[in-house]
Structure formats: C-alpha cells, structure tokens
Chains A and B, each alone.
Chain A
Amino acid sequence: MWRELQYLIHNFLPAGLQMDITQSYFEFLGLPVSYQLDQQALSERARELQKTLHPDRFSHLSDRERRLSVQYTAYLNEAVATLKNPLTRAQYLLQLEGVDTFSESRVQLDPMFLMQQMELREAVESIPDADDPEAEIEEQLQVVEQQMQELRQQFATFCVQNSPSALEAAAACVRKMQFIDKLGREIELLEDQLFDD
C-alpha cells in the first residue's frame, strides 16, 4: 500500500486519466431521476455495466486502462450503493437539488419529533433489563421500520412537488430519517452485544 501511495503522490493522475463523469448516478445507470426506484431495474443495469467496466475485463490490457476501469467501477459501485438504500437515495436527490444533508453536523428538528424520539430511546436503553429482551428488540425494530416507512412516503410526496417549500419539507423528512436510522443501527448493535458470544 505504501508503495502504491508514494507512486500516487509523485505521479498524481494526469487530467486526461481522471474519470470524466458529469452524469448523476441516475443518468449513469440509465434510470429516471425519481425517489420511486425499480430495484430490479437497478440490479440489472448495474450488472450490465459491471460486465463492461469491471477491471477483470481489462486484465489482459495495459495498466492505464485497468486503472481507469477501477475508477469507473468504483463510481458505479458508489452509485448503486447510494441509490439502493432509501435513506441515501433521498439524501442524494436532495444533493442534486443543492441541499447537502450528508455532512451537516447540527440540524433543527421539530420538538414533537424529538420528544417522541427521546421516549423511544429510553425504551431501547431499558431492553437489556427486560424479561424477554429478544421480543423487545423485535418490537422496537418494528416501530423504527414503521416510522421510516411513513417518512419515505412523505418524502416521495414532497419530492414530486416542485416548490422551495416542498424541498424544505423533504429535507426535514430526511433529517428525521437520519435520526431514526441511527436509532435502528443502535438497536442492531445492542442485539449483537446481547446475543453474540
């Protein structure tokens, strides 16, 4: 790795070899720009592109071509991973509209939502002391999933309305999703701690 690293530093890729992709993930994959996504179509397009772009298709060709193919395939994998997940897909759509929720550190959320989340969090924290922690975890995961589903629907609705206020509402939706997603992951982590080893 360190060898490669020195190599990269001293020979920073020339402009010609830098991947030149100005297309969005949707365009790159030949999919309509929309929150509603045909997962089957996504997998099929991804597979077709992998067959064209993957470095293994260039293994008997020159070094340069292999490196270019690594960059393209990396972009493809990033595109697929981002669009596949409903939360990152929503975030990406917002990014295309100029709203960056990927790297925000402090956000304002409505107090009602926060109250609700605090209660949820308390319930999760008391899981290890419950009589049947496994059932308790299952229940909380369902609550999380249900809330996510509602927010996804709201987001999809705001998404198709073309107005600044709808965009703001869609962003608020995503911030809530991020919050709930984090809670979901914490519950899964707790599950691992309680039942593995």
Chain B
Amino acid sequence: MALLQIAEPGQSPEPHQRKLAVGIDLGTTNSLVATVRSGDAATLADEGGSHLLPSVVRYTEQGVVIGQAALAQASVDPFNTIVSVKRLMGRGAKDLKGLHGEAVYRFADREGGMPFLQTVAGDKSPVEISGEILKTLKARALATLDGELEGAVITVPAYFDDAQRQATKDAAQLAGIKVLRLLNEPTAAAVAYGLDEGAEGVIAVYDLGGGTFDISILRLNKGVFEVLSTGGDSALGGDDFDLALAQWFLEQLGGAEVVAGESRYLTEKARWTKEQLTDNESVRVELDHGGQKVELDVTRELFDGLINDLVGKTVRACRRALKDADVTADEVLEVVMVGGSTRVPLVRSRVEKFFNRKPHIDIDPDRVVAVGAAIQADVLAGNKPDSEMLLLDVLPLSLGLETMGGLAEKVIHRNTSIPVARAQEFTTYQDGQTAMMIHVVQGERELISDCRSLAQFVLRGIPPMAAGAAKIRVSFQVDADGLLSVSAKELSTGVESEIQVKPSYGLADNEIAAMLKASYSNAEEDMQARSLREQQVEADRLLVSLDQAIETDGATLLTAEEIKHLQEQMAILLALRNGEDYKAIEYGVQVLAQASDFFAARRMDQSIKNALKGHSVDEIEGNT
C-alpha cells in the first residue's frame, strides 16, 4: 500500500541515512555543540581543536567576530563586545539595573520592553547576538559532519521563564536551526551520566554555571526521567563570584572610580584568581592600576568568605526543591554536579555536606550538558526508534493572571508536569462591556508588580450584555518546551474575541522576519528559497507519517472509502510539493492535515487502549 517512496525517519536507518541532529549548550560563558556518532555522544571541536566556544560576540565595521577572538578584545572594545548575553535574554530594560555586570553596555532608547545594545554595526537585540553564537555552532557542526541538519536540542536553565525560553527559540530561528526541543540543563546532565541504565530512584542535579543556578530533583524509572521539582536563580552564577572578588580588588586599590574597560579588566583578573584557587590555597595577583603595579595575595579562605553568602543561597534553594519534590536529603541516591562554577571547592564541600554524599564530578562539568542534549536530539530525530528514554519536565514558575487590585491569581502552579492545559472563566463587570484587558504573568509573588509580565492583551468584540452575563474562557497551554500559548473565547455566544497583544519583552513576529531578511545578502531570493525548503520539509513529514499510518492502521481504523479519499488528498499535496510555490504547499499541508485529523485522533485513542491493554476492561467493569 506504500504510496510514496520516501524513507521513514523512524525506521532502521543505514549509516548514511541517519538524521543529523545536534545538542547545543548555549551557555552564559561558553557554548558547545555535540552529536552522537557511531553510538557515542561527543562534543565537536573547531579547526583549532577547542570544544568550548566563548559566548562572546564582537561587532566591528567589517563584520561580526565570535568566540575566542572576540573575547580577546573584550576589555579593549567593551561597547562592541558582548559577553554573557544569556543574562539579557528575555529581560526587560528595567531588569538590567539589577545586573551590575552588564551596566557597561550602551542601551538604545527604543519602544518596547526588549533592550537593544548599541554597537558600531547598529542596534542589536540579545536574541540576534545569541543567534550569532548559534550560527557559529551550526557552521561547526556542518563542517564536521556530513549532510543537512535535521534539528537541534537546545538547553536552557530549568529556571528560565517563558520570555527567556521564547527568546532562546527565537535566536535559533534567526540562526536557521529547527528546535527539536528546549531541554532543561539539569535533565540533560542526568541523561549524559547515563543514570537511566539500571539506576532507579531519586537524583539531584546541582548546576551552577557562569550566570545561572539550577537545582533539579528527578526520579528515574525504566528510562523515564521525571523531574519532580526544580528551583534556582536565573541571575546567580560564577560571574557573581568574579564580581565579588573584583569588588574586593577595587577596595584594596582605594575604591577609585573605574571606567568601563577597567571594570572588565578587574573581573577578568578575578576570574583568573578564582580558577587558580581551585587547586591552590593562595595565589599572588598582579594588578595594573592607573599605570602602577599592585600585588595582592589572595587566600582561598578570603575568597570563601567573599562568596559564602552566594553559595548559601544555592543551598537554601536545594532545601526548597527537596521540599517541593516531597523527598528528604537521605532519599537522594546520587548528586550530579554541572557547570564550570562547581569546580569551586567551597561549592563542592557545601553541597556534599547538605546531601551528605559525594557528588558525581566524573564527566567534564563544562561538556556534560551538551552531551546529554545530543543524546536526546538523536532520539528525537528518529534515529533510535526503540529507545525507551523519555524526559518529563515541570513548569519552573507559576503562571497567572492579574486580578482586581493588582494581585496575581495563579492559573498553573510551579512544578506542575508539562505539557499542561488549564482554563479560567471571567465575566464582565459593567453592563454593555465589550472589551476586557488580560495580563499574563509568571512568578510566585502575590503582587503583580513582583511577578514577571509576559504579555498583555485586550479581548474585543464581546457582545454587549448585562454585567456578569458574558462568560469568557481564557485557556493556557504549556507545551513540552515550557512555552505558553493563550487563547480566549466568549462562551455564551461562541464569539471568538479579537485580540490585540502587546508583548512585555521579546520580539514580535514581524521583527523576527525583518531580522531574518536583513541577515541575507540577496534577501528576497534567499527568503523564498528558505521558505520553499521549510514548506517542503513540512509536507514530507506529513506525507511520510500519513503513509506510514495508513500502512500500519489503515486496515483496522479506516474504511476503504476513507483510505481512497486520503490518498487522493495526498497525491494533490505531493504534486504541490514538487512545485516551486511555497505558499501553495503551505496551504496544501493545512488542507491535508485537516482532512486527516480524524485519523490521527483515532490512532491516538488506539494507542491509549494498547498501552493499557490487559488492565482496563476487567478492572473497570469489576468496580463500577
């Protein structure tokens, strides 16, 4: 019955048919790309042999420089050299005041919540800057591997909110990377440790990177990694250790006024000192200050004193995460350490003391996340159809709506398993009211002003009725990536309200399109070619999966007439797919998808029945 001659992605691929998929760790300080080759997951190196790509982007009049070469110029050209851009992702201009390290940049005065940085190459958003890092990693993957990239699993801190996740996904879009999944960094680390093999029980992943801290408690069972709870601080990391030490340097230098370049110089010196103190009890630092050389001795004890409160904050987050997961420290079987900052001896000793067991540090903490992401990418691309592995995440921060008096009402609580969908009903409070303002927020606090604003929108076109008569249902849906979508409908009349959305932070659709366009030299043609390719891929996916579905389930779930009708529709799309008109293909995909919805739903119901085969019928009948 096979109608199309297209290789099915899930079926025992020959080596050359394997789908190319990579895992990307888009870090605050360094980024990495990894992939699975002949069964082994490993990070990929650049031509010079280095695996770590410093997450630094420098804009010059001649072009963009990324990585080590950019980092080398960071203190010489501070305004055009962007470091730790991850800390700016999904943030509003107002948030930046709290991030002392980034104060050196010049922010453009613009409409909208997202801060743009002024550079010699024009104003750049954090999304574009991250996109440059991703492009470099993609190029590295393509240079090392053969063929077209199917997609990538990109890791994010578990504690990232919706705006930060969306910004990461947007950056991937700008880099021309299809995101197979946004995966939480601690989950990726657990996968890399292969703790699923044989291990069953509760594990804790402590992830302290350059700019973010995460703690996740997971339960492992037969290949399923289930996140029970997660906590942390998306603005706390090793950079803060550097800043604390740089501040101390400054005090020793007499607290003189610093200029942009010098503050960067001092934090670089502080970072070097911190690294030395990992293996040494004390270190001598030479500082160049206003033309004179100053020498300082720094002991580990002194450094520990400077960062003790910061580390204490992470330990408190561990306690809370255990409580949320409803497990005790004794029940934790394994502790995994991730992130370069877990090399700091004080971090290791305090974590060991809290969990009362030696943490795992055997895999390079810098690479472990990328490796885990690569393993997941391999499975998601369909290269391992028999894999039992499944990663189940939770929502890190509660989602809610603004109610009267500036209060936040939670609609979905944090640590709820995702995907999740919830609906809330609202009514009008005035006679004849035809519009309603809805404000979506994320966070744990009671007051709207203490939560993160995600979006505001106005429902219009509510039919005029007496106060309290209209029933408006607002539905929240969070997908497996932790991304929220909202929809609204007036129930009594069935009118779908027109919505105007004002994003709080982030880029609107047309801004992304404009940036994509600008990034091509032959903008119009390239855009066309890319759109055509994207639509062809989407058409192929649909055709292949339908063909496969008809072959396996057509006989049992469809009538001969239904099969005939579907195959006619498929032939139409196939004809369109081989043409040049991407809009026609897009339309064809929609038509065929709609025509086959009933079949997808029947298959899903059958899967549920099969999954429960042997249990359900007797037990239910015996008890009702």
Contact = CB atoms under 8 A, between A and B. Distances in A.
A184 B601 CA distance: 42
A1 B420 contact: no
B435 to A, nearest CB: 15
A48 to B, nearest CB: 5
Interface stretch (A64-72, A87-95, A144-152, A174-182): A64-72
Contact of A9 (B487, B508, B620): B487
Interface in A48-89: 48-57, 59-65, 68-75, 77-78, 80-81
B224 A27 contact: no
A134 B417 CA distance: 31
Residue from the set A5, A43, A75 with the largest chain B CB neighbour count within 10 Å? A5
Interface string A8-24: 11001010110110000
A77 B487 contact: no
B382 interface: yes
Interface stretch (B103-111, B120-128, B524-532, B610-618): B610-618
Given A2-B506, A19-B601, 9 more contacts: A12-B487, A12-B496, A48-B611, A60-B380, A64-B597, A74-B420, A77-B416, A77-B417, A78-B421
B444 to A, nearest CB: 10
A196 B316 contact: yes
27 contacts: A2-B506, A4-B483, A5-B487, A5-B499, A9-B497, A12-B489, A16-B597, A16-B598, A17-B601, A19-B601, A29-B612, A33-B623, A47-B224, A48-B611, A48-B612, A52-B608, A56-B380, A57-B390, A59-B380, A60-B19, A60-B150, A68-B601, A71-B477, A77-B416, A77-B417, A77-B420, A197-B316
B388 interface: yes
Interface of A: 1-6, 8-9, 12, 14, 16-17, 19-20, 26-34, 43, 45, 47-57, 59-65, 68-75, 77-78, 80-81, 192, 196-197
Interface residues of B, number: 79
Contacts, number: 185
A12 B610 CA distance: 30
A3 B597 CA distance: 23
Nearest to A27: B620
B346 to A, nearest CB: 20
A72 B498 contact: no
B470 interface: no
A65 B600 contact: yes
Interface in B484-503: 484-489, 496-499, 501-503
Contacts of A1: 162, 166, 440, 454-455, 483-486, 503, 506
A27 B237 CA distance: 47
Nearest to B622: A32
Contacts of B381: 59-60
- Which 8 pairs, one residue from A and one from B, show the smallest C-beta to C-beta distance? A16-B597, A30-B616, A32-B623, A30-B612, A2-B501, A4-B485, A60-B382, A74-B421
Contacts of B604: 53, 68-69, 72
B349 interface: no
A72 B150 CA distance: 26
A51 B388 contact: yes
B217 to A, nearest CB: 16
Nearest to B615: A30
Contacts of A192: 320
A51 B224 contact: yes
B624 interface: yes
A22 B174 CA distance: 42
B542 interface: yes
Contacts of A74: 419-421, 477
A5 B486 contact: yes
A32 B620 contact: yes
Q: Which of A1, A9, A197 has the most CB of B within 10 A?
A: A1
